[in-house]
Chains A and B, each alone.
Chain A
Amino acid sequence: MPGIAFDQVVKRFGEVTAVRELTLDVADGEFVVLVGPSGCGKTTALRMLAGLEAVSSGRILIGDREVQQLPPRQRDVAMVFQDYALYPQMSVYRNLAFGLQTRKVPREQVRRLVTEAAERLGLAELLDRKPRQLSGGQRQRVALGRALVRKPQAFLMDEPLSNLDAKLRVDMRAEIKALQRETGVTTVFVTHDQVEAMTMGDRIAVMRDGLLEQEGRPDVVYNRPANMFVAGFIGSPAMTFGRVGVDRGDGALRLTHPALRLECAPVAGVGDEAIVGIRPEHTRPWQDGAGLAGPFQGTIESVEALGRETFLGVRVADDLRLVVRADGASDHRLGDRFQFGVERGRLHLFHSGSEAAIAHSV
């Protein structure tokens, strides 16, 4: 089965450049997630792949075919839309069959393929219903079935889980991932939800303002973000940052701020100033003998109790706010003074001007 390639793809809408020289390869059978905030160009990129938007410049390949000039019907891709886009006047059966009938597939074969897809997705009892008679989850399955039934070269999914409630979203994530693994169809999935991206993608591609900021395996993007934007976008709660001065001496690097001092292993390429990033899960309330760097002090500004864990927003200084993770419930209240520590070797350093990453796990 063919892969997909974006080669220096650009999309302009008048004066606005929505996608800037996107170059991204998707291997055969791979599940790649395009993730980023609203307006970053991920949906535009997907629509160009589907043939629903013209390409301003660059090439798009599906397999070894250049497709950027081809209409959607000649690209053999199937798309699942955010609002499902089911044909309201058609029954579930006819919604599933429409793409096959358009391609003049024989009636018996249509019936067999639709029945197979309906049984796979738990829609067998709903084939006579119209979309308005279905729940959100059922409509989602019909939208998936419409893509599945055509056995396309690629699945394209544009935020298909956005309109589902939280529990259903989790269930459908697993369903979609299982479906993709079963069929082995190359899939490009667009979402603004970084949790979806991390849990579903074989690789994730983080976009901002039309640019591809970083792509790679979820664990790599998470642990070695290319810049502050990726570091702050991927991870929930997000990584927190602080501007620090940098002193070198005694074979170590000292990161200094009026409110705290951290030491880390020496790193090349860092100037007199840097931005340090710390993920909340690498901080915790101070414990003597726990091997933490610290203790550091701050005032609690926010408390997010999630049952299994609590995230405390701590103001260390006016220009330095961190999020500290505590196991289980926490007794701390807003305004309390609080001591915390940082796990050693878990800092990220970023260039203070360009915001590019300098070092990770220092």
Chain B
Amino acid sequence: MNTGSFERTATQVMLALFAVLALAPLVVVVLAAMHPSGTLLSGAGLPDSFSLATFRTAWDEGGFSQLMTSSAIVAVTVVALTTVLSIPAGYAFGTMRFPFADLLFYVILTGIVVPFESLIVPLYYSFRNVGLTDSYWGLILPQTGLSISFGVFWMRAFFRSLPPELSDAARVDGATSWRILWRVLVPIGRPAIVTMVLLVFMWTWNEFLLALVMISDQTHRTAPLGLSAFQSRYGVDIPGVSAAAVFVAAPVVILYVLTQRQFLRGMLAGSIKG
């Protein structure tokens, strides 16, 4: 497609503008965290000297070692369970005919449709009655349940987008449904699976409301909850709070950077006929 130089320039200017708008808050926060702890800041500004001391102080004073560990335990477990359960379930819903398939799928979809805020109070009382509050399972189980709604929906759509001849060929070659799924279709589905993993990780890592309701002890407190508590205690220390925010944001950003090619492929799959 031929595009004139004006159109190309205009496109690049617009993209640069949106990139600046998206990145500016992150850059401001990182720069703020590079200032000495306790510095009074109003707006963006470069520090006199770049220092990681504020990060060390915030890490120690905020107890982020424990917070990040808790978040990692919860997020990794939720992602693992969601992935392991959503892939075969999505495969079944996407490629097989069985009784009540449509009804079951709509039941699973309620996890996406029903607002989580409407479930949190009854969930708290149910979990308290069985001793699951103030525990990792109190965070893992509900988030896994909700993530599976998305995961099954996502993987079903992916498996439906594949040419049925692939499965037919494997079936004639002697493969069972289980072998077809794991040996033929999952390798093809890496971009879609990576996208699901990244999104579920991001949502789980950033989950605040559930942790706020379920967790009152420090041992099981997650990073977003810890950040909120840190901000309450050290609110005037902008560099310190900024450093803490960087800690909480970093894992998701790092994971995205490592998987962005697969993520984009997964998001765009189906938009262009391959």
Interface residues of A (CB under 8 A from B): 47, 50-52, 71-73, 77-79, 81-83, 85-90, 98-99, 102-103, 146, 150, 156
Contacts and interface: CB of A to CB of B under 8 A. Distances in A.
Given A83-B163, A87-B170, A102-B173, 17 more contacts: A47-B168, A51-B171, A72-B172, A73-B172, A78-B172, A81-B168, A81-B169, A85-B165, A88-B188, A89-B187, A98-B173, A98-B175, A98-B183, A99-B174, A102-B179, A103-B174, A156-B172
Contact of A85 (B168, B174, B187): B168
21 contacts: A47-B168, A50-B172, A52-B171, A71-B171, A72-B174, A73-B173, A73-B175, A73-B176, A81-B165, A81-B168, A81-B169, A83-B163, A85-B163, A85-B165, A86-B169, A89-B188, A90-B187, A98-B175, A102-B175, A102-B179, A156-B172
A91 to B, nearest CB: 12
The 10 closest A-B pairs by CB, nearest first: A99-B173, A85-B165, A85-B169, A73-B174, A89-B187, A102-B174, A79-B172, A72-B171, A72-B172, A81-B165
Interface of B: 163, 165-166, 168-176, 179, 183-184, 187-188
Nearest to A103: B174
Contacts of B169: 79, 81, 85-87, 146
A87 B174 contact: no
Contacts of A87: 166, 169-170, 184
B174 A83 contact: no
Nearest to A86: B169
Contacts of A47: 168
A83 B165 contact: yes
Contact of B172 (A77, A83, A90): A77
Contacts of B170: 87, 98
Contacts of A146: 169, 173
Contacts of B174: 72-73, 99, 102-103
Contacts of B176: 73
Contacts of A150: 173
Contacts of B166: 85, 87
A322 B165 CA distance: 42
Contacts of B163: 83, 85
B175 A52 contact: no
A85 B175 CA distance: 14
Among B170, B174, B176, the one with the most A-chain Cβ atoms within 10 Å of its Cβ is B174
A52 B169 CA distance: 10
Contacts of A73: 171-176
Nearest to A87: B184
A88 B269 CA distance: 15
Contacts of A90: 187
A71 B163 CA distance: 20
B228 to A, nearest CB: 44
A84 to B, nearest CB: 8
A90 B184 CA distance: 9
Contacts of B171: 51-52, 71-73
A79 B168 contact: yes
Contacts of A156: 172
A52 B173 contact: no
B267 to A, nearest CB: 19
B274 to A, nearest CB: 9
A78 B163 CA distance: 19
